[in-house]
Structure 1
């Protein structure tokens, strides 16, 4: 069994990782850590949904050195700027680290500092980290010790755009991503716009042209296309708990039919068990991926405007965070990438 620890377990991503690992056939959670105010408390006292399921006691992050030797993999589900401090002690002992934050995603450290306002404390590790999007970087993930788990918006957006770039179908300067997310994407900490009276019966854009996931999206798309890409990215907050629907627009640079576009997407993801390219005419919706590691995608040709429109739906806490992290763990340890994740979405 793979011995796993979770740092930041009480947050939405951390709790979701614990939920998945408790039912994983090849993994065992041996310790948990959360904020210091949770130290000494059972996870079932902090999150009552675990009553009778898991009674592990949360440890202080400062006490984790005693667990290093017995751990095979650690999941860092922490706010930005903290995983860079804790990861080295695990990596130095040849343990595997999967970071849910943005600490190791952006390769350009000046770009990271610009968007996150943090000086990186482990710059040597950034170059070694593998971007953990299995559908694009499976082989690199297999041999990596440090995974930068993708953000939720980037996951939905990159999976939607990648086939277009790989097949040189669109003007790279024309990409617009219009994405909507449920409130859990903002994390468990309360902010004004996630306060119930502000988000209930409301639909708003936020961080327009300034969201931290924009440079992450642009970096990966630039890798795919071998050219510098700057997308227009506009996120929105939807009054629902979870889910992301990204609607992506781009100008076509060659004549093509909708049937051919659909075939390209089907072929591109034919070996990706968690990407479901829907039948022509069927559109993705967050309800149909809820609680699952699936990404539902479809592509629509707007012949009149010479544009392609891609729709991509994920559960932001599963494929956009915890599920993808476990998928990466499976690949790193040579397991079937579907292990512990092969369940249907929750419906209705």
Structure 2
């Protein structure tokens, strides 16, 4: 009976997929930026709205986003949960959230690397850089060679709405959001070096070619969801930083599983085949690619990962069917570089659900 229900769900998902392709031709899949209300919190605790003529030098205290009510704040959290990280940054483009601060810090680190005249000069500038963001962003305590600064508890979506001091205004009350002072689980999945020996629910790989590093894994979580994590880094003077300018493609050829994707309208849909997953200009990506069949306990197959650095000719494009383009939240035909298996990272795996 479970098998019949599973097959019926796949059939319905395929119908939904066809309907979705029709719908996406009508509406835009890119969320529009939202002019959220920015206020200043004065040193005396007053909350004063900011208008378009207010200059930064005229602001006393700190800036924060204001929401009419707790329900308004929570509905905004739900709304941005269906977006990519870059779309979330654009959504609140009139405000420097904790996540946007990290994005700006990442660009600043690139500038420091380019301006440094020697390793000693870079070390001095980097120490000043870490001090500048102390108390706001955190270093990678799991890997001393990782120079990137991270948002604490970065998987928490509130970090796209709170300011650098973790504050938000709900109604007329200033609230400080409590965050776990550690890297997010998704970032630790690719940028921490603490993979446990004997772990059976996860397959990992790491490839370093010249000054480029690609790290990734596939895992089964305790909900029977199948997750793929891929991260890219580039070499600096004496360490590595997240590389946010990579195009990444991967393929999960495995069974028994149902493939999962999110429609442009935030719907969770399933299908019996996704040939490739693709996304552009991102330093790390964490995607639930599917789930085990009901009652399933294991997954076996092959994970193949390509970046624009690993394919031999990025201009040699091929139109592939059943591509889930995460940058458009759309499943369909897309042109990608020719993805030869011999140029891929990853490998064969056998993983089991542990809970």
TM-score, normalised to structure 1, is 0.26
Q: Which has the higher helix share?
A: 1
Q: Tell me: higher relative CO, structure 1 or 2? Use CA pairs within 8 A at least 6 residues apart.
A: 1
Q: Which has the higher strand share?
A: 2
